[in-house]
Structure 1
């Protein structure tokens, strides 16, 4: 009995040395993209660990970045950590402040954790997820793995010799791929398609190699979707991920002239994704031109593509001006709505809710801003109509 007790006491410490940390999403890297991926995944409601394998995240120029979800969440945490009132401006976010705020956040959050200065030994598949060995006796198990730096240690588990990171594409209307966007790159006409992010025949691993916060945020939301719904990344739902990213203020179409703070930003983004109103592409940038008048020929075919009933309305109204009255006629015919009720609703919302500066006038030709808001509310093409992997409308 005495001998057994001694053995038992000796064995217990050895067993306790082995440790497995479980999480939903594991992000490898310390770039701006890793930062955004980790924050977005946690903001989307799943347990997230970022393994930086360094002293912390690289410097981020917060002054140049629009206030998307991860930036807004970080600034809120920074204000809290620095004990600053909302009326007091944040100081310049140095690399030291960045990582101090992240540490404070990581220490206090149930969903967001950052582990610094911890390289990993190897990676392997664990069921449909991943196991990352930190030491012989310590590992992290994750449902979805996001790699933002060196992919070499991951390749043996994938049983392939090489893998290219997700590629961005310039906005183009020669095809419909732009409708599969999950992130627009600030200051350019480039975007990331969901189907450029997903890796063929490789589920629950995403590989990006970028300093773009937008790419990181899009990747974090995609990883979170698979983890939250306990599914594979190959079964990602495009509209759900797009909707999540729009809720966290990530532009999906890179309109240079529509700011996140614009009261009509969401409606313009949703209609922009459908292609019912297309951007003007100029000098490597995309412009929505919100105050330009809508022209019949630019909306004719796109709306026909989305709605069968639109075929009849446009055939009966050849090349008419896109006035408020004609637009009401079209949306009521296509959407089976009452004309008088639609007019009343629009008149009540015109200035107070939509924040339009013009007067409600049935004879006025609509601007692209006005048309986008009306189409988004009364026909909801983005919310109700799906597209396939090529962006082709599914009806």
Structure 2
């Protein structure tokens, strides 16, 4: 009966990755009682020959199920992530370092966890669910489970041990074994209650520019360029700490060429899905060819992997970088792989373009405002790069060729994403192939 209820319920959850495809089979792989009325489930879902695992905090009780209507599953069951009367168990178990069946609750050595705080679910996420305890902790539940240690836990704990101020303090995590590998189920960090989201700050700057009588991005009231410079410095400093905390390598020119060939294959796949990109394929091909022609040894290291303005927070002191998971849905091995730090730089440069242009997608005066948008993006891109260099980031003149290629590779990925999810935004990544830089 429970598996039937879950089969009908899971397809409507934002974090379920198999939307639009029928479920062939759903089984409960693991069922652990955490407290009275609270169980931890690992659910296996088979679709078209592929299997995905998800985790669920399962609450039971007719009265409670009625109270949490958005989390209602049926027959007295509900998603207990929304039940603050039960979720305190997670903090308590992490603080005590308990083992409950196959689940292991751990905390960072030298930290104390206040177990009296009540939780509230953040409403903005898609692929995970985050519980905020008071204004002190945020516990991220990784809904879709991939065997292996999550890169975010690995990186944040390593940087925290190096006293890096650009990451939020980690406090604890939950893990189990999947396919014979220790696998991260959740992690708890400092909640930056008084910080501002980088994307929101950038958009406020763009709105100020569009509303200003002064058409200059540098002189408008909401100028963001100083913050972009500070963000560049913070990014370079985190890259330096990552290189110190994890192994680094130098790959040969031939490996650089193979990387470019992989980008070419991805471009072909993007064109097959979004044919209008084909008109501009030569722009990316020329950028890729320049990298191939000038290929030389390239230093690689651990990087963020999915870096943009939505992954950074401005505190009263400095920028803090979040979400070191890498690109969602990719295998753990790929997300942990060493890469050029310019990959992160390219991601942030693309994010400045997005911030400048996305407000124009349905703006009645888009044509007249577009020059302002372009100026804002260029100002903040250059400020970020200046900050990155000032912070010790390696940006040689010859790196511009690789950086341009990585930007266009990211834009090709964005074209596919927007075509699938936000067709009205498709023009934003397409612009990357129409702009000379």
Give the strand-richer structure, 1 or 2: 2
Report which of the two structures shows the higher radius of gyration computed on alpha carbons: 1
TM above 0.5, yes or no, is no
Bin the TM-score by the shorter chain.
Answer: under 0.3
More RCO (CA 8 Å, sep 6+)? 1
| TM-score for the superposition, normalised by structure 2 | 0.25
